[in-house]
Structure formats: C-alpha cells, structure tokens
Structure 1
Amino acid sequence: MGEKERQSWDLGRFLNTLNYFELIPFFSDLQKLFNSDNRPSLNLNSNTMSMILVTGATGGVGKRVVRRLLEQNYYVRVLVRDIEAAKPLFDDKVEIIQGDVTRPETLTSRLLDNVSAVISCVGTKVQPVEGDTPNRDKYSQGIKFYMPQVVDSPQEVEYLGMKNLTEVAKKYIRSDTKLLFDFSHPTEAIKDTWGAVDDVVMGGVSESSIRLEQNKAVFSGNVSIANNGGFASVRSKNLNPPVDLSNYEGIELRVQGDGKRYKFIIRCEGRWDGVGYSYSFDTFYNTPTTVRIPFSDLIPVFRAKTVPEMGKFDPSCIYSMQLMQTKFEYDGELNPKFSPGLFRLEINSIKAYGHKINTPQFILISSAGVTRPGRSDINLEDQPPAVKINDQLGGILTWKLKGEEVLRQSGLNYTIIRPCALTEKPGDKTLVFEQGDNMRGQVSRDAIADLCLQLLQLPTACQKTFEVSEEDKPNQQQLKEAIASLNQD
C-alpha cells in the first residue's frame, strides 16, 4: 500500500493526546481531583531556575549552601576533589564534577556549562597539630583555639585557586541566560510537562514520543504523509502561570540532530489550537548545535499558514513551547529537508538568552581580618587568634586578601563576604554588616548560607566587600536596605 493511501486512524491515541493535555473536561477534572496533591508544579517565572556552581561544597558552609539551593529549586553543580567520597554527602539531584581549583587543567568548560553564578566556599584546610585535642567544637564555636596547622598551601588554594577559577568563569559563565528546561537534570515537574502532539489530531498516522535517556531528552518517531498528514511534535502543557521573558532577547536550544529541518513553536495565548510563533532551524547529522531564536524573528502562524496581522511575538506571556518535524514549511511551501520516515532530535536544554547581567555572578566566602596582619593602626594582641598567628598558618589571611583582589579585577559581577568567627548556632539572629575590616564577633554558618542565596537576587550586592557578624536578638532586619547602604569597592 502506498504512503499516500488511507491508513486506519488510531482513535485511542487521539483520545490519549486530548486527555494528556487536559482537553477533555470531564477526565481533566478527575485528573486534577486525584492528582492535585501529588502532581509536581513547574513555575518558570521563578528566579531560582538557574544552575549554580558551588566550590568548597564539602565544607561546613558549602554543604549548607547546596542544601538551600536545592530547597529553592536551583540546579546545583559541585566541584570536589574526590567524587566517591563526596557522593554520600549530596542529594542525587546534585551534579558532581571532580576537579581541583589548584589544578587548572581540571577546570574545563564543562564545569561552567549552563552556570549562571558561582558560590565559592573554598578554604585552606586547618586542623589541630598532632597531639592536640580532637574536640573541634571549641574552634568551630569561635570560643577557643587549638594549636593549628594548615594541610594545604594557602598560596595555592586562596590565591592561585581563585585565579584559576575566575579565569574559567570569565570565559564560560552565562549569567545572561535563564535555564528553562534542563533535560540533562530533569525534575519530576519537567518530566510531567512534555507530551506528543502528532498529526493523529488531524486524522494522520505519524507517531512520536519524548523520552529521557543519558542526560538528554530524545524527540523521535516516524512521520507519515498518509491520510494527508505529515507532522509529529512534542509540546509542553500550558505553563501556569505563563512565563514572562520580556527581559530577554530570545530562546536558545542546545540540540543534536539528524540533518533534518525542525520547527520551534512558542505561544503567547492559552488556546490549544490558536496562533503560534514559529522558527525553522536546520540540524547537522550527529553534531551538537546551539540554535539561537531571536523573538524578533518568530513568524506568527496558524496551522502552517502565516498570519502577519497578529503582529510581533509578546514574550511577556508565554504559555507553551513545541518542537516539530513536518513536511510543511509556510503558506503551502514544503520543508526542503523533509523525507518521510524515522527522525531523531536530542535536546539538552532550552534557555532564554540576552538578559542584562545585574546580579552577582560570583560570591566569595572570605574572612574577616584579611587586611589586619601588618596593619600599623591596630594592636595585634587585641586581635582574634587567626590574625595573631597568620604567619604560622602560612599567611592564610594574606593569601585570602590576594584572592579577593583577583576576583575584584576579574570583570565579573561579584560579592565578597567576610564572616567573623563561624559557629554551629542556628542562623536566627540579626546580621550586622560593616566595611573596613575592623569587625569582631561570631556568625552562624547557617546564616552565611542563607545570606549567599539572598545575595544571588540582589543587584545592589554587586562589586561590594563587607564583614558580617550577628547581634543577639531575633532577626527583624531588612536585608535589601542593609546591603544597598554599603559602599561599592
């Protein structure tokens, strides 16, 4: 039987499509009734839909930062020296990469792939000298101080490590993008969002699916021109609430194709069979490709017919996205690279691009006291132990200061936090901020981790260095106002 002859139509698959996209009112109401408590939600308007790289993630502050990032729906990547030792410390949602800031050859572009910000909690390891008390609490609480020794070289970790990390960050960090769908690390909400919409809805017999395999989504199937059909696609359910991308320039796809031409369709109305805005793009066989789709280049279409009277695409109210393999181009023209049969498109990510960078790209946890060794205006005998024995610790504070300066000169949007003595106490007190490196006191590791996450969203935190400690009273401060009042470097 020829391809163009009538073939039997699959009513069951047609109904399954309508049901999946909640287009059959009765069944849709039943689904919502039974699944409302368990169904994952997807809010692409959230500012936390970003990939954050955490270095020093196995330390006291680093582990807390990772945990809080996951709680707020960030994608998290960590850099560790030993993957096997690190695995038990992290949720399986955390991407673990083996490397060392002191070894620049281990800091590849993969480390920063899709990353919008770095939180560096790296620090020189300090431990009691042999024979000293094993009770580390007296140090971590900032009350007493054991006789210490450094395990690593402060020069390599605090200074050269920062130099290596900022160099790779400058090249590859992508704070101007917003990660919408990360198919290499899909959440349950993403898995529940995408489904097939084939020409079965028009009487055709083409068939496709989207599935997750080996850190990517695979859109594949078989396109048939029987029954006057000729398209297969996968589409997201309507986003609720619709996503606002008005501060971006377009959509970026990271794909690997089969040499065929595909369409990307995006809708700024919630109707199922309404107007979509389309962009055709070519792929190269078995070759990874980045496709950038400017919003200004999107074509308004209705069932492959252009409708220019609909005007330009409105990125402030996006309801759904769709990928399509089709024989139809626009207004009766045919896809010049179409052939019926099997197809395969791998998708790693869908992002928005072109946002003006105005928030911190790099947050560094440094230390109060970094400027004090050698200062003539202070009495070293009145200073904390770490300042008094800086030389015995390999100049750890001196090298931290040099590392800070590397970050300041990097050209990145940065924030440098200088915490006072770190404790294990709950982070429920008011934070106090100063500049000039004269502050004394203590601050909870929990409070510093919380502060890092808040700073990620604050434009007023950029290019600022400050010390922080706690006051012994409940936290009632307005953080935005406190950070805004600080001076830039």
Structure 2
Amino acid sequence: MSRFRALLQATKKALTWNVEDLVPPTERYIFKFNSNEEVKKWHLYSDSEYGGLSSASLEISDTGNGPNGIFSGNLSSDFAEGSKWKMNRSGFCGMRSKKFNGFIDLDAYDTISLKVKGDGRSYISTIYTENWVNSPGQEEDNSWQAFVFVPKDNWYIAEIPLSRYLPTWRGNVIDAEMEMNPARVVGMSLSVNAEGGVPGARSGPGDFKLEIDWIKALRTE
C-alpha cells in the first residue's frame, strides 16, 4: 500500500510539474537594446526615401547607467528640389525590426511594454502580424498601431494593451472588422511624425530623440 501511495504522489508531482512548465512566464523580452548586435536587428526609414529631408539614426550609447538604444534625428516638412516623388506629407522617421525568423507567438500576453526616455513627443508603436489573406495584391503584413506619449527627460515604462492597437494601412487607421492575431507576430516598429499625435505632446519639425532600454510582452490578466 505504501508503495502505491508513493507511486501516486510521484505521478501527481510529475503532472503538476508538467502543467507549470506549460504556463508561460508573466513577461517576455522581445528586444533588449544593450549591444550593437541589437541594432543590427533593425533598419531605419524616413521620408527621405520619397524626396523628403528628414533623417534618423539608431545607435547604442552608455550614459553611465548601462547601454541603451538611441533613436534620434531631425523631422523636416520640406522636400528636396526636383524630387520625382509626389507626397502629400513629409516629416516622418521610423525604425523597423527586420523580420523575425518566421514569427513569434505572443498569444499568451495582453500588453506591450517599453522602457523609454523621450523628448515630449508622441511616438507610434507598430506591431506587424502575418497577413491572413495572403492573396495577390494583398501580400503586405497586417499592421496595428498605437500612440506612445513619452514624457521628457525621465525614464518611463509605457504599457500598451494589445486591445489598443488599431488596424492600419500605410499609416492610416482603417475602418474594418479585424482582430489581431498575436500568435503570428512577424515584426515591430517605432516611428515619429512631425504632426499629429496625442494632445499636449510636442509636435512640429525639428530634432527628436528617444532612448530605449527594452521592449517586452506582459501578461497582466
């Protein structure tokens, strides 16, 4: 009888261990901006690709409290003379992650968190998910965006529920019944526009600077 009880307890312990093993942690780092290798996971873009004059850079810097990423540059509302491109607006820059190796599964999480230090501007956090349609002419990733207002000069942890990310098409919110699939995230980006953003945020042409320590996913519920 004692041997049977011992076997039963061992079985229960094994089952409990396996169940706990299946529960994901309450947070998951997606990016840590602590080395030049991290910078290589991103590429920059701006209106300069279409005749604008904005510029951006991304580098790792150590200001004494450990290394972190610095996304900075200048937003311009002007256009290059003789540009062949016809744009309705200029004054934007962004940093977009290179595509993940396949995708990452964030289905167990409900919030994106960023540790940032800014300049009073409003930034845009974008999540790219695998396109469910994947038909000719509709091959771009689905994109979902939310504003991030970053107070000036102090480190700030922003937490954005996934439910706040709205479906967008080339920067514009689309009026469509769509639901994000967090199990098929293929990339992320951070961007800034000279105009727009949340009320009270700094706007207009000029310099911008956003320091980034990390980006991670949280399970808060």
TM-score range, shorter chain: 0.7 to 0.9
Residue 181 (1) aligns with residue 31 (2):
yes
Alignment correspondent of 1:230: 91
Alignment correspondent of 1:198: 46
SS in structure 1 of the partner of residue 215 of structure 2 = strand
User: Structure 2 residue aligned with 1:280, among 140, 147, 160?
Assistant: 147
Work out whether residues 304 and 328 of structure 1, in 8 Å CA contact, stay in contact via their aligned partners in 2: no
Count of equivalent residues: 178
**Deviation at residue 200 of structure 1 after TM alignment:** 2.1
| 1:318-366 deviation per Cα after TM superposition (whole angstroms, max 9, x unaligned) | 1111111103548xx999631211110000000000178xxxxxxxxxx
| 1:43-79 deviation per Cα after TM superposition (whole angstroms, max 9, x unaligned) | xxxxxxxxxxxxxxxxxxxxxxxxxxxxxxxxxxxxx
**Deviation at residue 310 of structure 1 after TM alignment:** 5.2
| Distance in 1 of aligned mates of 2:158 and 2:126 | 13
Alignment correspondent of 1:341: 206
**Deviation at residue 283 of structure 1 after TM alignment:** 1.3
Distance 1:329 1:318, change over 3 A: farther
Residue 303 (1) aligns with residue 151 (2):
no
Read off the aligned partner of 1:235 and give its amino acid letter: R
| 1:222-274 deviation per Cα after TM superposition (whole angstroms, max 9, x unaligned) | 01111331101111011112111000012100000011111111110378855
Higher fraction of helix: 1
SS in structure 2 of the partner of residue 316 of structure 1 = helix
| 1:100-155 deviation per Cα after TM superposition (whole angstroms, max 9, x unaligned) | xxxxxxxxxxxxxxxxxxxxxxxxxxxxxxxxxxxxxxxxxxxxxxxxxxxxxxxx
Q: How do residues 200-279 of structure 1 correspond to structure 2 at under 5 angstroms?
A: 200-214=48-62, 215-227=67-79, 228-269=89-130, 274-279=141-146
Read off the aligned partner of 1:318 and give its amino acid letter: V
Alignment correspondent of 1:129: none
1 or 2 for the larger relative contact order (CA 8 Å, sep ≥6)?
Answer: 2
Work out whether residues 296 and 312 of structure 1, in 8 Å CA contact, stay in contact via their aligned partners in 2: no
SS in structure 2 of the partner of residue 226 of structure 1 = coil
Alignment correspondent of 1:126: none
Read off the aligned partner of 1:291 and give its amino acid letter: A
Q: How do residues 88-487 of structure 1 correspond to structure 2 at under 5 angstroms?
A: 175-184=25-34, 186=35, 188=37, 190-214=38-62, 215-227=67-79, 228-269=89-130, 274-309=141-176, 311-329=178-196, 337-354=202-219
SS in structure 2 of the partner of residue 296 of structure 1 = helix
| Distance in 1 of aligned mates of 2:190 and 2:93 | 9
| Distance in 2 of aligned mates of 1:346 and 1:286 | 10
Distance 1:272 1:293, change over 3 A: farther
Work out whether residues 327 and 335 of structure 1, in 8 Å CA contact, stay in contact via their aligned partners in 2: no
Work out whether residues 129 and 141 of structure 2, in 8 Å CA contact, stay in contact via their aligned partners in 1: no
Read off the aligned partner of 1:349 and give its amino acid letter: W
* Larger Cα-atom Rg: 1
Read off the aligned partner of 1:196 and give its amino acid letter: L
Percent of aligned positions with the same letter in both sequences? 28
User: What is the TM-score of this pair, normalised by structure 1?
Assistant: 0.34
**Deviation at residue 301 of structure 1 after TM alignment:** 1.1
Read off the aligned partner of 2:60 and give its amino acid letter: L
SS in structure 1 of the partner of residue 119 of structure 2 = coil
**Deviation at residue 311 of structure 1 after TM alignment:** 0.9
| Distance in 1 of aligned mates of 2:77 and 2:36 | 35
Work out whether residues 261 and 337 of structure 1, in 8 Å CA contact, stay in contact via their aligned partners in 2: yes
List alignment gaps of at least 5 residues for structure 2.
1-24, 80-88, 132-137
| Distance in 1 of aligned mates of 2:199 and 2:139 | 24
User: How well do the aligned residues superpose, as a CA RMSD in angstroms?
Assistant: 2.4
Distance 1:305 1:335, change over 3 A: farther
SS in structure 1 of the partner of residue 58 of structure 2 = strand
Alignment correspondent of 2:14: none
| Distance in 2 of aligned mates of 1:289 and 1:320 | 23
Distance 1:274 1:328, change over 3 A: farther
Work out whether residues 329 and 335 of structure 1, in 8 Å CA contact, stay in contact via their aligned partners in 2: no
Read off the aligned partner of 2:156 and give its amino acid letter: T
**Deviation at residue 201 of structure 1 after TM alignment:** 2.9
**Deviation at residue 312 of structure 1 after TM alignment:** 2.1
Higher fraction of strand: 2
| Distance in 2 of aligned mates of 1:256 and 1:243 | 26
